[in-house]
Structure 1
Amino acid sequence: MESKIEAVNGDLPLPTAQQMLDRCIVPVKAEFLIRKGTRRADAGSSASDAAAAQPASAAEKKQNREQEQSRSESRKQMRKEVRAGRPAELCTNHLLGRCTWGERCKYSHDLAEYLKTKPADLPGSCPWTAVQAKCPYGIMCRYARTHGEDDELHRLLATVPPVSGGGPVAADGGDAAGATVPTAAPVVASAETETVPVLLSELPLPTSIEKEINYLSKDIQNLLWKKRYDYNKADGILKSMDLRISFKGAKKPDSGGSDGGGGEKGGQPTGTGTGTQKAEVLPQGLPALAGDEGGPGRGREGMLHNAASDAAGEEAPMQVDAAASSAPTTTTTTTTMGDAEAVEAPATKRQRTGDISSGGGGGGADVTAADPVTVAPSISDAAAIATLRSEQHLAKEAETDNPTGRTAALVSEAHAAHVEVPLRPSERRRLDFRGKTYLAPLTTVGNLPFRRICKSLGVDVTCGEMALATNLLQGQMSEWALLKRHPSEDFFGVQVCGGYPDALARVGQLLGEQIQVDFVDINMGCPIDLVCDKKAGSALLRQPSRIERILRATSAALGDIPLTFKTRKGYNDGEDVAHTFLHKAGEWGAAAVTLHGRTRQQRYSKLADWEYIHRCGESCAAAGLQLIGNGDVFSYSDWNQHISDTGGHLASLMIGRGALIKPWIFTEIKEQRHWDISASERLELYKQFCAVGLEHWGSDSRGVETTRRFLLEWLSFTCRYVPVGLLEVLPQQMNHRPPAFRGRNELETLFASEDSRDWVRISEMLLGPPPAPISFAAKHKGNSYSAPGTASELDMARG
């Protein structure tokens, strides 16, 4: 069987529904199957059956990595083409007469030339002026001609004829200004022709624009860049647990001078590491290594932990009693985010920060985490406070007999003031996931606009995209952008990833002081090689003792914010270990746990093991810990089955790929029905996504193209959806591949296409043509696994 299900040949009889189910094909009704021709698919997405049947060799793994790098290069090339075709952005500071860069400025100072090359406005009205607000993008907005502002710039814009290519065009290529095309029966481009598609209609306008929260203020970012943020609270927790702190040269907020950790000169971060390894003598007499992997531009790959420090501290297991999580800590001074920074318009901030806002220029913190080798007995809170009070009493007695005793008394009082009694479990915020639908934290596609679409469709709990702990500590704006929250997300958490207690404890303190969240989740199940090679994600399943240290330290540093984590069954097949420690996670500080019913080795190549999830659910329920199941939930019947089979042991289910393919699954669960959503209703969801995308990423040319890119990523998943009205057997299963079929109308057929060129055409119908021809390559594979031993199974196993 070929990895891509081909169209049914006209000379062969149509397969029955059962035959299609046996072959893991979605059972589509015969009248909708395509009998001739083949379904186009992106090149390079399939492999031969012979190669799939054999285990992956080292050469095949190398080839797969090269293919992944090729896809990454294709995505970079697409963004480069878009940037090359887009006119240089106008420098707003120059227009205001305050640009200090002069000829070195990366933005254009030639207003006349910019207006000549500015793309035509999109049809409709500016979302900002629709709510009676001033558009922060000015004449750079793709709706600038509808602003109605009577200033010199807009009057000049009105005198320049618009560049063609942004407005609605007819199917024959002529101008269709003022013409209306029925949404129910649109004229779309044929896949075999180069006919320009019709821009269907205007994007919906918002009734109000609510300000997003969880921005990183400039003051806090500077402290992170210069390594002057006060981590006394987290460091006190780590020291009380005898955990090594491998962050070099950390400063107090009011300190000055040169940083011992390197990478700083004259008070400005240089973004370079020390290039050497410096040792710090610990109470155990072992050196703590300072990593030399720091530097700018590492983005999401900048997990700055040294494997040598891990090898030095992982041999001896740590034994911590229950009092360790309540060890005395030190207080810290919290610096809050300024209101002005939180509400600053994206375009204004973009122009003001320049290169810094791109997320690649920070990198000032050289961090290397390591684990302890031994653990000294921890002292209880009551004993610690009693000891301090005794010291104060003795000091005051000595003061009456010896004048120098006053100094000792002051020191003792100051020491006592820094003792913070940890929160008891009953004093933390309560989390209740029972019966709530939970959208998984999804990399790339799980962005804020997509979460807003899911909120409108009934999801209860949302979580931000996975952010790397070390990048957050460096103040990288690209990483902090993943923590943004819309006010509509009333039950919201953020997910961080790291492999060492010191980094995650500091991130816990930082997040607890700087952002507003309902919980913080640690990703301990990510299967990506880049993450696992840094001892994070699924690699933690190889050393459950480190999971305990991470949870105890991070939960204490978070204060009253609940801590959760997500993990898998085990690292390799046949090495299931989650059941050995999940029921203990509540004692370690976790408020809830999400279990994905696969191993890291499986990726998505096999069905989730729900029997194992049920087994862990029983032990967690007995321990009073909420367990959330995850894997292959694709309909409300799947939801009902998994909830009922556990006898109430599962608090909820987390939905990931099912929400990517059909985000209306949350509506189906709430209303307990299979929603035969029409093509026009799906189109409205895409329109709404584009509308909130322009609100989030901006309504200028850069914001439009960013919205297009994430729309294309989403379309690479939704093409796998088969409408309910076309199914022979309900419901569609996650592990079934759709055959080549035609929809009930042309738009439905277009939405089912697996050709990325059709996805680009759909984006043109909503956002106009891109500034340059693009060739899109999806970041994630949207194909499901198929029958055992097929090429598609091997593809999914490889990522």
Structure 2
Amino acid sequence: MESLKLGALEVWPPVVLAPMAGITNSAFRTLCREQGGGLFVCEMITTRALVERNAKTLRMIRFAPDERPRSVQLYGIDPQTVGRAVRMIAEEGLADHVDLNFGCPVPKVTRRGGGSALPYKRNLFRAILREAVRNAGTLPVTVKMRKGIDDDHLTYLDAGRIAEQEGVAAVALHGRTAVQHYGGTADWEAVARLKEAVTTIPVLGNGDIWSADDARRMIERTGCDGVVVGRGCLGRPWLFADLAAMCAGSDERARPALGEVAAVMDRHATLLTECFGSEPTAVTDFRKHVGWYLKGFTVGADLRRRLATSSSLAALREGLAELDPAQPWPGEVADTPRGKTNARDRVHLPAGWLDDPYDLAVPDAGAELDTSGG
């Protein structure tokens, strides 16, 4: 495969870590980067919070000294605020790449007209992209989106063409609608249709990539220029090593025994301690990762519980030491869905949102999220 070209940036392998709230902090990004190359995006940053220099947001946008390229995902619904945020990133050298979030399906975002709801408003979507690109200087701006709100309100082909026209460097498509949330099966054929419609910039595919072989099948089936990985790397940071091997044409895959997995878990918790500057906070945050790391392995219920309720690194390491280090990789059962898998009955939208797809009006100023992270 060829490298991914985003403006002046060249990314090899053409693999992107999707932003995930509460997951893709600097600790997790470091852990994944240690396994293989690519583009590793931080948690979603709210444009309003950034331009107002919210303390939490400024902490979230910090990167490790050796982290290159530095990638930020922004969420916003007001073209002017998005433009100011992008200009701040460019002028202050806060990142090397800006991704715009038009894929988030959670109600607190869509009911404000943001995330996966926004591309339905074609002119507003265009205005946001135009302001972002205009203020980015030499930084590449990319877009991550979904197919649309639901099957009756698909937007991805229009959105892809608009992004291409407005000078966006690449578009990534999650092959689900907002109402699907993370349920059902990702529509890879939609990625193929977007690739046919958008011909001058890279198109990336996202959805149901649980292994490097899934990524290979997506690329072969859709012709996409690279992949975006989200839930597939939960408890599996070595997926990035597998993806690098796949992109290089190798069939070599990581199949860590439980002892190796335990070592990665220890490393992850240690990095979180450095990230948060608080051991109790870090170990508490790590609890949600325990089940993902151990999926498919035979581990007793009591030990799983103790690992998932540890309150110190010492207690966590004591539990990790009890795992059978020789227990082999459990096989295909380990490469199955992790994280959220539910669909929704409906998408929460602002009143009258579907009345006019070309309405340029910005949602009420109070609708802008004021906290980062999703």
Q: Distance in 2 between matches of 1:628 and 1:517?
A: 21
1:640 equivalent to 2:189? Answer no
From the superposition, tell whether residues 626 and 751 of structure 1 become closer, same or farther in structure 2 (CA, over 3 Å): farther
Are 1:435 and 1:651, in contact at CA under 8 Å, matched by a contact in 2? no
Are 1:449 and 1:696, in contact at CA under 8 Å, matched by a contact in 2? yes
Give the drift of 1:683: 1.1
- Given candidates 552, 555, 558, the residue that maps to 2:133 is 555
From the superposition, tell whether residues 609 and 504 of structure 1 become closer, same or farther in structure 2 (CA, over 3 Å): same
- Given candidates 256, 274, 290, the residue that maps to 1:715 is 290
| Residue 308 of structure 2: aligned partner | 759
Q: How does 1:131-150 map to 2 (within 5 A)?
A: none
Are 1:497 and 1:537, in contact at CA under 8 Å, matched by a contact in 2? yes
Give the drift of 1:784: 5.4
Instruction: Encode CA deviations 1:150-204: one digit per residue, 9 max, x unaligned.
Output: xxxxxxxxxxxxxxxxxxxxxxxxxxxxxxxxxxxxxxxxxxxxxxxxxxxxxxx
| Residue 491 of structure 1: aligned partner | 69
Considering Cα pairs closer than 8 Å and 6+ residues apart, tell me whether 1 or 2 has the greater RCO.
Answer: 2
The secondary structure found in structure 2 opposite 1:457 is coil
Q: Distance in 2 between matches of 1:584 and 1:536?
A: 17
Tell me the TM-score normalised to structure 2 length. Answer: 0.78
Q: Distance in 2 between matches of 1:716 and 1:518?
A: 34
Are 1:583 and 1:625, in contact at CA under 8 Å, matched by a contact in 2? no
1:631 equivalent to 2:207? Answer yes
| Residue 264 of structure 2: aligned partner | 685
From the superposition, tell whether residues 470 and 519 of structure 1 become closer, same or farther in structure 2 (CA, over 3 Å): same
Q: Distance in 1 between matches of 2:89 and 2:266?
A: 33
Are 1:469 and 1:498, in contact at CA under 8 Å, matched by a contact in 2? yes
Instruction: Encode CA deviations 1:93-113: one digit per residue, 9 max, x unaligned.
Output: xxxxxxxxxxxxxxxxxxxxx
Give the drift of 1:433: 4.7
Q: Distance in 2 between matches of 1:718 and 1:499?
A: 36
Are 1:704 and 1:767, in contact at CA under 8 Å, matched by a contact in 2? no
What percentage of residue pairs aligned between the two structures are identical? Answer: 26
Instruction: Encode CA deviations 1:668-698: one digit per residue, 9 max, x unaligned.
Output: 2233334321111111112212222233322
For the aligned residues, what is the CA RMSD? 2.8
Q: How does 1:300-379 map to 2 (within 5 A)?
A: none
Q: How does 1:431-446 map to 2 (within 5 A)?
A: 431-433=9-11, 435-446=13-24
Are 1:431 and 1:591, in contact at CA under 8 Å, matched by a contact in 2? no
Q: How does 1:185-264 map to 2 (within 5 A)?
A: none
Instruction: Encode CA deviations 1:746-787: one digit per residue, 9 max, x unaligned.
Output: xx456994x5x5411496533789xxxxxxxxxxx95554xx
The secondary structure found in structure 1 opposite 2:169 is strand
Are 2:212 and 2:243, in contact at CA under 8 Å, matched by a contact in 1? yes
Q: Distance in 1 between matches of 2:49 and 2:343?
A: 34
From the superposition, tell whether residues 454 and 464 of structure 1 become closer, same or farther in structure 2 (CA, over 3 Å): same
1:523 equivalent to 2:81? Answer no
The secondary structure found in structure 1 opposite 2:234 is helix
Report the number of matched residues: 320
1:460 equivalent to 2:9? Answer no
| Residue 662 of structure 1: aligned partner | 236
The secondary structure found in structure 2 opposite 1:560 is coil
The secondary structure found in structure 1 opposite 2:309 is helix
Instruction: Encode CA deviations 1:579-623: one digit per residue, 9 max, x unaligned.
Output: 123033122121111111001111011111001111101221x2x
Q: Which amino acid aligns with 2:290?
A: L
From the superposition, tell whether residues 662 and 477 of structure 1 become closer, same or farther in structure 2 (CA, over 3 Å): same
- Given candidates 80, 95, 105, the residue that maps to 1:502 is 80
From the superposition, tell whether residues 531 and 612 of structure 1 become closer, same or farther in structure 2 (CA, over 3 Å): same
Tell me the TM-score normalised to structure 1 length. Answer: 0.38
1:607 equivalent to 2:185? Answer yes
Q: Distance in 1 between matches of 2:301 and 2:205?
A: 34
Give the drift of 1:718: 3.0
Are 2:102 and 2:118, in contact at CA under 8 Å, matched by a contact in 1? yes
The secondary structure found in structure 2 opposite 1:581 is helix
The secondary structure found in structure 2 opposite 1:666 is helix
Are 1:445 and 1:714, in contact at CA under 8 Å, matched by a contact in 2? no
The secondary structure found in structure 2 opposite 1:489 is coil
Q: Distance in 2 between matches of 1:551 and 1:783?
A: 30
The secondary structure found in structure 1 opposite 2:44 is strand
Q: Which amino acid aligns with 2:244?
A: K
Q: Which amino acid aligns with 1:562?
A: P
Q: Distance in 2 between matches of 1:718 and 1:670?
A: 21
From the superposition, tell whether residues 682 and 564 of structure 1 become closer, same or farther in structure 2 (CA, over 3 Å): same
Q: Distance in 2 between matches of 1:524 and 1:532?
A: 10
| Residue 146 of structure 2: aligned partner | 568
Q: Which amino acid aligns with 1:557?
A: N
| Largest Rg, 1 or 2 | 1
Give the drift of 1:486: 1.1
1:536 equivalent to 2:111? Answer no
Give the drift of 1:661: 3.2
- Given candidates 680, 694, 706, the residue that maps to 2:281 is 706
Structure 1: segments with no counterpart, 5+ residues? 1-427, 724-742, 770-780, 786-791
| Residue 89 of structure 2: aligned partner | 511
Q: Distance in 2 between matches of 1:549 and 1:505?
A: 10
Give the drift of 1:489: 2.2
| Residue 221 of structure 1: aligned partner | none
Q: Which amino acid aligns with 2:260?
A: E
Q: Distance in 2 between matches of 1:548 and 1:784?
A: 30
Q: Distance in 1 between matches of 2:170 and 2:124?
A: 18
- Given candidates 441, 445, 448, the residue that maps to 2:26 is 448
Q: Greater CA deviation, 577-586 or 563-572?
A: 577-586
Q: How does 1:23-62 map to 2 (within 5 A)?
A: none
Are 2:207 and 2:229, in contact at CA under 8 Å, matched by a contact in 1? yes
Structure 2: segments with no counterpart, 5+ residues? 1-5, 246-250, 320-336, 349-374
Are 1:594 and 1:629, in contact at CA under 8 Å, matched by a contact in 2? yes
| Residue 227 of structure 2: aligned partner | 653
| Residue 394 of structure 1: aligned partner | none
Are 1:433 and 1:626, in contact at CA under 8 Å, matched by a contact in 2? no
**Which structure shows the bigger proportion of residues in strand conformation?**
2
From the superposition, tell whether residues 434 and 615 of structure 1 become closer, same or farther in structure 2 (CA, over 3 Å): farther
Instruction: Encode CA deviations 1:370-396: one digit per residue, 9 max, x unaligned.
Output: xxxxxxxxxxxxxxxxxxxxxxxxxxx
Instruction: Encode CA deviations 1:337-383: one digit per residue, 9 max, x unaligned.
Output: xxxxxxxxxxxxxxxxxxxxxxxxxxxxxxxxxxxxxxxxxxxxxxx
Q: Distance in 1 between matches of 2:256 and 2:240?
A: 13
Q: Distance in 1 between matches of 2:202 and 2:85?
A: 24
Are 1:592 and 1:626, in contact at CA under 8 Å, matched by a contact in 2? yes
Give the drift of 1:431: 3.5
Q: Distance in 2 between matches of 1:637 and 1:692?
A: 29
Q: Distance in 1 between matches of 2:303 and 2:16?
A: 26
Q: Which amino acid aligns with 2:45?
A: A
Give the drift of 1:535: 1.8
